[in-house]
Structure 1
Amino acid sequence: MRRKVQPQRLMNDKYMHPSASFHIYSQQVDRLCELHWHEFYELCFVLSGHGRNVVNGVCYELHPGSLFLLTPADFHEIGPHGSETLHLYNLVFSDELFSEELKAVFFQEAGAYWNADMTGCYPAVESEFRLIWEESQALGIGHKLIVRGALERILLYTARQTRTGGDKKRNPQHPDVHRALLHIHHHFRETISLEEAAKHAGLAPNYFSQLFRQTTGIPFQTYLQDLRLKFAKSLLISSDYPVTEICYASGFHTLTHFERVFKQRFGETPRTVQKARKQG
């Protein structure tokens, strides 16, 4: 059987102490960190320097004040421009520190990666990260509560900064379906059954299936497959990984099925997409 080679996955036990739900790093990035993904959430704030962050095939420019959140569903590579060095705070944290209430506020559209320009409130955001850093060093009584509060304030600052008037016109999602969508968007590359999604929604499977279709306009399995296909396409245009490995990394179990549904969805084969990228 062919060995499945995928981008490196950074695991909780290597980057966080088993008894902790977070760890903060003050990093100097002076060269490209190649394509990888995480078991945890990663919140980064650029203090100085310029660079780029390529997430799921899309390139985002980084500068002082840039803030981004990576979920367990995101692949990315990050590096500075030219001879510059990126200095950033990097907070990694587990699902334990990310309350369902806050997820509902932050991921209003049930998406994954967030990128924001926080230049306008740089001092406030920098102060919160510095507080997290200090608490992580001192480990005083209640330090986890203080860290949670700082994290929540940073995310709420970001949500407020990026909300526009157009958001008021958005049709609100059913709260139970939204909880399930959050889980699906962050774990779609894993095996997710209708029953598991319904459990996250707190609903019976049959009722959840009906409500899910009413909310999203498509059946559960179609929605899940579409997430995997979009992710596979982004990986095809952002990496040199073989099509077979991208198939597995995107949550598909057989190459034949992946190639068939990919062509149905996009009108071209995975290899055609990859070849066009290399020629471009």
Structure 2
Amino acid sequence: MSPPAIALTDPPKIGLDPDPPAGTRVREADYWAYYYEHDNGYEWNDGYLEVKPVSDTLTIRVYQWLLQLLQFYLETHDNARLTALEMGFRLLLADKVAIRKPDLGLVLDSNPIPLSDLDRSYKGTFDLCVEALSDSTPAEIARDTEQKRREYEAAGVREYYILHHEPRWQRFYRRNAFGRYQPIPADEGVLQSEVVPGLRFRLEDLLRQPGPTVMIEDAVYAPFVLPAWQRDREVLEQERRGRQQAEQAREQAERAREQSEQARQQAEQLAQRERAEKEALLAELARLRGAS
């Protein structure tokens, strides 16, 4: 069964609970019709409703920083589209069907199934899925780190990131040539995506969360974080340097003019002294001749 083009929001038909607890069994058609856009954020797993757990504030900040980084990347490269939180996709697996709503999904323009402007569910398989881990219970931890990892791997999600404010719970996977997830290696602490060309980040920055004014000065992020702003800033800096150089040239010309004027005045004063001394000498000679 394919998800509907537009999920319905009518009240459930008679016999269906309008606010069912997790674990309630419902048909897939009823899930799409009545529970897909429910306020509880239900996912559907092989006939049963599951409620997405809530992450803590620190983990949400990690998620928000990575989301901002992806938005900066896409402003520069414009080669993919993002979904967030309530956008689900259908996973047709060997042993079951599941409908998952990753906290963040990315669909490359090269994906054979595009993400359309009016879609309320994604009809294909995300190229990248990100989940912000909830660690309230061991079952919630296992859901993202084990269950969804297996599902996303089998469904063909090419990269899968699990975020948390504690590095020990962070996971970054990439599908290998055999369709199995392997940890993405970090080169000197920098993780680089192969699925999203040019996207990279320092693992420690998930916790440091530097802002754009810092990232534009960082060789890791400068190629894709606000490059147009960087170019504008460089133009402004060049204009500033040009004005500074022009001002320095004007000041140098003014000093040269002042020095020339001083030299002229000194020469004139010297000439006046020489004339005065000559006149005094002539006067003295004339006096001596008269006395003789």
Q: Structure 2-normalised TM-score?
A: 0.24
More helix by share: 1
Q: Structure 1-normalised TM-score?
A: 0.25
Q: Name the larger-Rg structure.
A: 2
Larger RCO of the pair (alpha carbons < 8 Å, separation 6+): 1
